[in-house]
């Protein structure tokens, strides 16, 4: 019976991982360094990488992602842990403005 419960728990966790990975975190752009390929974001929690709210520098997966960003922009983004402990933004988009 215990093995069955453990199997169910593993199955449910595995099913939830893609959902966590797809969640977008909220953030505000603080600085963009196109030459270095980095962006500083003040962000809320990032569940996919178990990160609490803070302001930090992220590496862009693709430098083209940074072209239209500027300090003060409100964004939604995805991040993952890259090689060497670097945090990498893999997707970023403008946050939708709340209707008036």
For the chain, the domain total comes to 1
Which CATH number fits the domain that encloses residue 83?
A: 2.40.50.320
Instruction: Check pLDDT > 70 for residue 3.
Output: no
Contact (CB, 8 A) for 61 and 89 = yes
Q: Is residue 73 part of a domain?
A: yes
pLDDT at 98: 64
Query: Domain of 64?
Result: 2-94
Q: Is the pTM of this model over 0.85?
A: no
> Is residue 65, in this structure, part of any structural domain at all?
yes
pLDDT value, residue 6: 58
pLDDT in tens, 11-26: 544 544 454 446 899 9
- Tell which residue, 69, 83, 87, 84, has the closest CA to residue 31: 69
Is residue 100 included in any domain, yes or no? no
Residue 59 pLDDT grade (very low, low, confident, very high; cuts 50, 70, 90): very high
Residue 25 in domain: yes
């Amino acid at each position: 019976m215990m093995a069955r419960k453990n199997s169910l728990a593993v199955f449910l966790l595995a099913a939830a991982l893609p959902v966590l990975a797809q969640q977008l975190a909220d953030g505000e752009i603080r600085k963009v360094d196109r030459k270095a390929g980095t962006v500083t974001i003040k962000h809320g929690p990032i569940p996919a990488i178990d990160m609490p709210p803070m302001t930090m520098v992220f590496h862009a997966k693709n430098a083209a992602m940074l072209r239209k960003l500027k300090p003060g922009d409100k964004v939604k983004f995805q991040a993952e842990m890259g090689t060497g402990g670097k945090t990498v933004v893999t997707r970023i988009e403008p946050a939708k403005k709340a209707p008036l």
